[in-house]
Amino acid sequence: MAHADLPQIFDRLAPDLQRFLASRVTCEATAADLTQETFLRLAQVPNLEAIDNLRTYLFKIANNLAIDHHRARARTRCSSPEDESALIEYPDGAATPEAATLAKEELAVAFQALEELSPLCRRIFVLNRFEGLPHREIADRLGIHLSTVEKNIARALNHCRRRLNESAG
């Protein structure tokens, strides 16, 4: 994948990214802005070929931008009643600020846990859980045994579960 491919990548992935961001920021215009910012950040990556899973990479950038957006909003005063209503609509349907904060912290722990996995284990997990590929298709795509896929998914789930339990206390 090269920088010349970015327009096609944008056309293919921008709608999904914008829906994802709209569910987190509650404002379509902000979601559109953050979608563009996500792709601007991708364009600044010097070696796009080094990205193993572009979709996951983009969604991670988008999620981080949404978190940054909420942090910035929390630091500034609201300028209109419309802004105030957006602030009380917490991400992921959380009922309280504490629940929203806890959900964000758990998400950060889960992402960190994924980063701690071996590249193969992480790739298998992402293909299954984020891209929805069945075990057999992952095995065929990567040229590995089905049992390797199953063991790595179990390993990734156990690792994430363990990290989440450790962070909870």
Task: Please provide the CATH number assigned to the domain covering 96-169.
Answer: 1.10.10.10
Over the stretch 132-167, which tens digit does the pLDDT of each residue have?
A: 789 999 999 999 999 999 999 999 989 988 988 888
The pTM for the full model equals 0.45
Pick 92 or 148 by higher pLDDT.
Answer: 148
Q: What's the mean per-residue pLDDT of the chain?
A: 81
Q: Give the side-chain half-sphere CA count within 13 A for 61.
A: 22
Q: What are the sequence ranges of the domains in the chain? A: 1-89, 96-169
Question: Given this model, what pLDDT does residue 126 score?
Answer: 83
Question: Given this model, what pLDDT does residue 139 score?
Answer: 94
Task: Please provide the CATH number assigned to the domain covering 1-89.
Answer: 1.10.1740
